[in-house]
Amino acid sequence: MNYLLVVAHPDDEVLGAGATIKKLTSVGHNVDICIMCTEAKARAFRPEDEELNADLDASAQILGIRNKYEGTFPNIEMNNSTHLSLVQFIEKVIIVSDCDIIITHHPADTNNDHMHTSMACQAAIRLFQRRTGVKPLKEFWFMEVLSSTEWSVNTSMNRFQPNTFVEVGRDNVDVKIAALATYRGVMRAYPHPRSEEAIKGLAAYRGAQSGTNYAEAFEVVLKRI
């Protein structure tokens, strides 16, 4: 099975699905990532472009990611890009990756870039209806990104409501933390949501919800059988 993670920034793929990615690649599935923005000018700690790219490569190697596709949309200014340009970039990656399942941000995410990535991705997955020869997706998932998805304070939109839980085990949670740690300046001390304790705590909580020790949660909004 071919999975595609469509994310706004480097590190979102790890925060949202790092343990799941490692579980999938460990049993032979292909996982690619499509990153809309590969700069970090809005961060308090701003790595140079070559540093961020090196961090991304190191993280991808730990998780077993096959290919990465990088966009050049502006950091925390994705709303200034046209919706069409975002959609068309994702469509190109859908074709070249030959993906069966796409995982992306939840649309109620507080982060501006996350929201616009999600909305563009929702439009892009309809590509098979507009172009012959493009296979339809089997599944479309939303993920939760610690430090932004839980801040869904816009009550006019539905909050993230998981309905699918991937049992990942403690080992894959540890790999997730190691992959996130390759991104310099991203992790924080507890009680920040991007701390080691919070990441493990969320995995334990999602595991308890689903009758397992550790899990990552997703909201599957499209499934073709």
The token duo for 146 is 């610690």
pLDDT at 155: 80
Q: For residue 158, give the amino acid letter.
A: N
pLDDT at 107: 95
Q: What angle do CA 80, 8, 160 make, to 5 degrees?
A: 105
CA pair distance 165, 148, nearest whole angstrom: 20
The per-residue pLDDT for range 6-54, each reduced to its tens digit, is: 999 999 999 999 999 999 999 999 999 999 998 766 555 667 778 889 9
CA pair distance 110, 103, nearest whole angstrom: 18
pLDDT at 151: 87
The label of the residue with tokens 């390759």 reads: 182
The per-residue pLDDT for range 172-191, each reduced to its tens digit, is: 999 999 999 999 988 999 99
Contact partners, residue 91, CB within 8 Å, separation at least 6: 124, 127
The mean pLDDT value of the chain amounts to 94
CA pair distance 78, 84, nearest whole angstrom: 12
Dihedral pair phi/psi, residue 104, rounded to 5°: -145, -175
CB 18 within 8 A of CB 179: yes
pLDDT at 50: 85
Q: How far apart are the two ends of the chain, measured CA to CA in Å?
A: 14
Contact partners, residue 86, CB within 8 Å, separation at least 6: 36, 73, 78, 116, 117, 120
Query: What whole-number percentage of the chain has pLDDT above 70?
Result: 96
Dihedral pair phi/psi, residue 222, rounded to 5°: -145, 130
CB 161 within 8 A of CB 183: no
- Average pLDDT of the segment spanning 155-179: 95
pLDDT at 42: 54
Residue 125 pLDDT more than 90? yes
Q: CATH for 2-223, among 3.30.830.10, 3.40.50.800, 3.40.50.2300, 3.40.50.10320?
A: 3.40.50.10320
CB 30 within 8 A of CB 3: yes
